[in-house]
Amino acid sequence: MDYLIEGLNALTPGQAVMWLIGGLLIFLAIKKDMEPALLLPMGFGAILCNLPLSPVIGESGIIKSLFEVGIEASEAMPLLLFIGIGAMIDFGPLLSNPKLFILGGAAQFGIFITIILAAMIGFPIEDAASIGIIGAADGPTAIMVSQVLKSNYTAAIIVVAYSYMALVPIVQPAVVKLCTTKKERLIKMQYTSNQVTKLTRILFPIIVTVIAGLIAPESLSLVGMLMFGNLIRECGVLQSLSETAQTTFSNIITLLLGITISFQMQAEAFLRLETLVIMALGLFAFVFDTIGGVFCAKFMNLFTKNKINPIIGAAGISAFPMAARVAEKMGIQEDPSNHLLMHAVGVNVSGQIASAIVGGLIIGLVL
């Protein structure tokens, strides 16, 4: 009889709180349809890993083993996910309008401001750098940076990064409206699809990989896998593999990544005052990344004849393709005839590249 209630006796208040957090993530995934492929396994995993005497996090437990092999030892899972993301990305809108690269780069502004702020608050530089990268709204990059820098708050950083990815449709519209006027949001941008040759599409991921390797070698793991996935898409001879990478492969890795991350959501590691501070700093980084992209567009309008709608600057964060869809929705709300999707996609994919490179730069500078 004692054996049957052993787990109940071992239950701690912190574990019960983590059940509630796990339940909240599951609710958001199912009821609100917020990144369900990720938040649902994270939520269930949070409950699973906080059951007293749970064997899944023991010495040979399945979740502990997945974490050690797939994240801690090699960052394999987030890197493999980047192959799938690369296969999904069409760089055509960016290549037909290269100035959109500037907006993608500017939308990383909040990362560096947050690193400085976190260091001033008292976080060690390794932790401050890992917290700052949350602003990119790029889960795999957050995992990579926090693991390589051996942050003490990896659990909170990963969960907050993925949570803010899911909150893009809620946070970004409010920030953009605060930073722009009605007149600016009504700017129409005509999309003219300049023909991008197949050779250009094939050479682009190769050239980006070489450049990234020369200026930010630590980014090669992320950028290389992203560009490899895109090369599979664009080469034209691996169609079935490209489709698999975009769908089945990415879905499986996302599910496994979600439940594996939950190993870091054990109550004793997650329920700290610092977690609340990291949530606030992560939101600060996310908001100022959005502001950076928006104000860069406003600044560029001072010197360009064909004006840029500042809404698309917000798409420079790395949440692909969600940020581009949010920009399109905002444009339509202001004027049903103003479609910004293709422009926003160009900015969004440039932000994907920029965030990976910035992640590598941060690792190189801190280590």
pLDDT in tens, 106-158: 999 999 999 999 999 999 999 999 999 988 877 888 888 988 898 888 878 88
The pLDDT of residue 229 is above 90:
yes
Packing angle, helices 125-132 and 154-166, rounded to 10: 10
Residue 6: the pLDDT is 67
Strand segments, DSSP code E, in the chain are: none
- The confidence score (pLDDT) of residue 265 equals 86
pTM above 0.85, yes or no: yes
Q: Which amino acid is at 30?
A: I
Instruction: List the single range of 211-215, 260-264, 282-286 with lowest mean pLDDT.
Output: 260-264
**Over residues 323-350, mean pLDDT:** 90
Contact 7, 51 (CB under 8 A): yes
CA distance 214 to 223: 12
Rounded to a whole number of angstroms, the CA Rg of the chain reads 21
Answer yes or no: is pLDDT of 291 > 90. yes
Please check the confidence at residue 3 and state whether its pLDDT lies above 70: no
pLDDT value, residue 155: 77
| DSSP symbol at 28 | H
Q: What is the pLDDT of residue 194?
A: 67
Q: What integer pLDDT is reported at residue 162 of this predicted model? A: 78
